[in-house]
Structure 1
């Protein structure tokens, strides 16, 4: 057998296991994730069919209320809220887990190196001489785990879907936070308006009670009319402390949402301003857009995808 023939036989012996390993590496067990498709109505109930509209742009919906103070409070809440900080930390954790899982698909390389400085002593006729010299050492090691049944790839899929779910969790937290800030802010402004109205009504009813008493003195009214007028004024005036307590509670909740002490916004929101009203018409979109834009729905879908990938990961690890 010539040298060429021996080399050909050796090459064939190497190709067979390599080809087999490649085929096995392409095998991924477990179900592949399929995004669920749900039939959705094209219009809201009672709405006439219309031409297809673009999806509603609701990413910064609170700006349609045209209130600069509310816009500032939303920005401060996003920056200082502890729930948002926790959700962001979970995203960083999921991103690190994804990178770690993705690293298993590639070869791992280890390297080491060292250097030493030594001296040798030699005896001569004139005494002892030292000859310094340097010694360098380097090591290199590479390894790769063959992913025969797709364990690592399913792990990467699960980590990727987990990262997506963490991002949707952050969006859900932000959506809830912004909604609470806008709700409590509008509630606080509403209490301010009701407090002012109650005080004006109580003052007017007191004047009516005085006038009724004067009329009773000249025989144009009865004592029952006087008592009724005074009772209405007292009842309206008694509502003011309850309204003030509701206003203080709304402001305290706003302060906590922005990451501050409960009384931090008392002076800042003391000035009475009108209740914010949205710019009409309010965009609604179609039912499918509203459903698919909900972070909680998107997060549940990503968690479902992650669980599907974990099924394949568990089957491959058996």
Structure 2
């Protein structure tokens, strides 16, 4: 009996010693690079205070009933159960509208940003900066551009610029309700969002394309590349993967942030027949009007999960693999 127990005890002792050695080595490594932690401390503090703690708090609060007056009360999965089975506004309007809007604006804005960045990159330098400024400026204008440009342009009466032009051209016989009808509000939202989608992701793609080594294009022509399309596919895109990934992430975030544009265009909240009602609009409704903060937080957690999965997909498509 003792002969059988001896090897077991010896193996356990060896494993314990190896574990202790790993901990000692890890502590020595941490201590050797102690000065570097001073440089990352500000970032880590901001990350923990403004990102990690709020996200963890939101996850905990999503399992609570909280109305901002009473003490939060644990209710388990009730918020998520209500979300999937009883929240008709979410199921019938917010979720389909968000998916439709994101699928058009996200990939559409991303493709437009890349194509425009590539077109600008082949222009002479004297024109390049002015075209870049013209395309980037709308992303900075925000609500100012909304009120000055798009509100009178898409006005639903006869004096709206677009309706007036179409009426004078004989293309329509009566004014079109561009932002106050269920049929046209989503189209107007997509148009305005694409117009203002050339933001920091567009600049990153332009910078990446301009920094591609010209020798790669010369080598590609020697290897048989004969068209611009082949240059883009075999040289430009593989050489700008980091910028493409950054642009994809910014396109996803921009599509989510722009979901409140329906209320800004129509001047109504909720939008006409909920045609522009998004998940973010649902969160605002429950969080800031009904003060059902527990359910609003549960919606935020689901939206965070959707954004995370979309970012993982973007990273899979454009992320640089180890060894590349």
Higher radius of gyration, 1 or 2: 1
Relative to total residues, which structure has the larger strand share, 1 or 2? 1
Both structures adopt the same fold (TM-score exceeding 0.5): no
Higher relative CO (Cα under 8 Å, sequence separation at least 6) belongs to 1
Q: If the TM-score is normalised by the length of the shorter chain, which range does it land in?
A: under 0.3
Query: What TM-score do you get using the length of structure 2 for normalisation?
Result: 0.23
Relative to total residues, which structure has the larger helix share, 1 or 2? 2
